[in-house]
């Protein structure tokens, strides 16, 4: 049975990878995308989310604009805010880009409200969904509040998020990872909600990096989608061998959705995650680990899971495979064949 997800993101090139993979993989049903301020402003995140869905031939996927600032702290943006939208970068190939989606089809509901509705529907129909957060958790925290009693195991199977750093140093500040730093209060609300949380911190996302050879391969093998993805990834300048211990740029957010369909490629451990909200160390994450070996009852009581290790080669190969399949599906649609990534439920019947 496919995983039904709602993705809250702040595209961001690695958010783009997560959207593309979600649309490409038949074991994921993407119910909606929420754009939240984080890497970039909410307007840019929204434009980029819509652009990505349009590029993937999935213009019908609802893309909701969400919160334009954190819950409490002063706003900070990622290093890439100054780069503008994806479309700004691709202006010289405008003729090959998907048409700009009409504003008329833009959902009016704010992302947190749409997510809360999705949670409520999931609880009523007894088909719990997974909330995937690849940006600050502002809208996820608000949605949990709005959904009230439905924000339980009935409505939410789990929350899967990119964020935090435990052994690795932070990326936006020495002590904190960007998503946690951007809205530590929201992250703390989610961590303390009592809901299952699976976290992909820098410790694991730094292990999986797309190299120049990977990008060449993607650009060559995955059609226009691959060309554009590779170009944007390169524009975001993600290499830092001294920090990561090798070549290539991390594709952080992608790991969340790959884990949903290929958990065997990861090693997770149970933990209890805490997020600091005090001024000095806001966004710093710490974890309580079991004192006994994995599987012991004491460890089983800890409410969260943290990804520790990933089979990078297999993840990158899976991503390329799905991009190629997505490209073929889009090309098939454009030539009049009926095969879309938005009707996979029918396709599976």
**Which positions from 250 through 279 interact with Ca ion, judged by CB under 5 A?**
253
Q: Is 193 in the site for Ca ion (CB under 5 A)?
A: no
- 10 or 203, CB closer to Ca ion? 10
Between β-strands 28-35 and 63-65, what pairing exists: parallel, antiparallel or unpaired?
parallel
Tally of CB atoms within 10 A around 254: 29
Minimum distance of Ca ion from residue 9's CB (angstroms):
6
Using the rule CB under 5 A, which residue among 15, 203, 214, 239 binds Ca ion? 15
Backbone angles phi, psi at 265, to 5 degrees: -90, 5
Residue 193, both tokens: 């909600």
Minimum distance of Ca ion from residue 50's CB (angstroms):
16
Bridge partners of residue 32, in order along the sequence: 6
Residue 310, both tokens: 């990933």
The Cα 86–Cα 197 span in angstroms is 30
**Which positions from 278 through 337 interact with Ca ion, judged by CB under 5 A?**
none
Residue 284, both tokens: 């710093």
- 183 or 253, CB closer to Ca ion? 253
Interface stretch with Ca ion, choices 7-15, 84-92, 186-194, 238-246 (CB under 5 A): 7-15
Minimum distance of Ca ion from residue 5's CB (angstroms):
15
117 is catalytic: no
Minimum distance of Ca ion from residue 32's CB (angstroms):
17
Residue 94, both tokens: 């405008």
Closest C-alpha among 93, 349, 56 to residue 226: 56
Q: What is the x/- site pattern for Ca ion, positions 214-253, by CB under 5 A? A: ---------------------------------------x
Q: Is 134 in the site for Ca ion (CB under 5 A)?
A: yes
Minimum distance of Ca ion from residue 253's CB (angstroms):
5
Interface stretch with Ca ion, choices 11-19, 29-37, 211-219, 302-310 (CB under 5 A): 11-19
What letter does residue 265 receive in the DSSP assignment? G
Look at residue 6 and give its three-state secondary structure.
Answer: strand
Minimum distance of Ca ion from residue 316's CB (angstroms):
18
The Cα 52–Cα 16 span in angstroms is 6
Q: What is the x/- site pattern for Ca ion, positions 89-128, by CB under 5 A? A: ----------------------------------------
Using the rule CB under 5 A, which residue among 98, 135, 163, 201 binds Ca ion? 135
- 229 or 344, CB closer to Ca ion? 229
Question: Of all helices (H) and strands (E), which one includes residue 306?
Answer: strand 304-310
The Cα 236–Cα 246 span in angstroms is 18
Look at residue 119 and give its three-state secondary structure.
Answer: helix
Interface stretch with Ca ion, choices 5-13, 163-171, 185-193, 280-288 (CB under 5 A): 5-13
Q: Which of 64, 185, 217, 252 is catalytic?
A: 252
Residue 221, both tokens: 């093998």
What letter does residue 63 receive in the DSSP assignment? E
Using the rule CB under 5 A, which residue among 3, 5, 8, 12 binds Ca ion? 12
The Cα 10–Cα 75 span in angstroms is 14
Its sign, for the CA torsion 122, 128, 133, 134, is negative
Minimum distance of Ca ion from residue 10's CB (angstroms):
5
What letter does residue 263 receive in the DSSP assignment? G
How many residues bind to Ca ion according to rule CB under 5 A? 6
Q: Which residues bind Ca ion (CB under 5 A)?
A: 10, 12, 15, 134-135, 253
| Residues annotated as catalytic (active site), given as ranges | 252
């Amino acid at each position: 049975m496919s995983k039904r997800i709602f993705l809250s993101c702040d595209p961001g090139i690695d958010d783009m990878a997560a959207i593309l993979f979600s649309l490409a993989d038949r074991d994921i049903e993407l119910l909606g995308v929420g754009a939240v301020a984080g890497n970039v402003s909410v307007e840019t995140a929204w434009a980029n989310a819509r652009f990505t869905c349009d590029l993937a031939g999935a213009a019908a996927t609802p893309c909701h604009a969400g919160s334009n600032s954190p819950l409490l702290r002063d706003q900070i943006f990622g290093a890439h805010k100054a780069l503008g939208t994806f479309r700004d970068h691709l202006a010289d190939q405008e003729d090959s880009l998907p048409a700009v989606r009409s504003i008329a089809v833009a959902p009016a509901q704010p992302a947190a409200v749409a997510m809360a509705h999705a949670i409520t529907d999931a609880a009523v129909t007894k088909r719990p969904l997974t909330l995937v957060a690849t940006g600050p958790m502002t809208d996820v925290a608000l949605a949990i509040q709005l959904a009230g009693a439905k924000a339980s195991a009935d409505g939410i199977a789990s929350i899967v998020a990119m964020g935090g750093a435990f052994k690795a140093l932070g990326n936006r500040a020495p002590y904190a990872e960007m998503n946690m730093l951007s809205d530590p209060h929201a992250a703390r609300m989610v961590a303390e909600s009592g809901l299952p949380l699976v976290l992909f911190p820098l410790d694991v996302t730094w292990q999986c990096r797309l190299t120049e050879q990977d990008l060449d391969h993607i650009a060559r093998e995955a059609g226009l989608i691959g060309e554009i993805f590779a170009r944007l990834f390169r524009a975001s300048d993600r290499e830092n061998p001294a920090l990561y211990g090798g070549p290539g740029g991390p594709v952080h957010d992608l790991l969340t959705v790959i884990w949903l369909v290929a958990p065997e490629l990861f090693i997770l451990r149970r933990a209890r995650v805490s997020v600091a909200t005090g001024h000095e160390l806001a966004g710093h994450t710490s974890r309580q680990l079991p004192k006994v070996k994995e599987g012991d009852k004491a460890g089983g009581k800890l409410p969260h899971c943290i990804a520790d290790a990933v089979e990078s080669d297999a993840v990158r190969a899976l991503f390329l495979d799905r991009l190629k399949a997505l490209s073929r599906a889009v090309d098939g649609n454009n030539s009049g064949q009926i095969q879309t990534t938005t009707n996979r439920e029918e396709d599976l019947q």
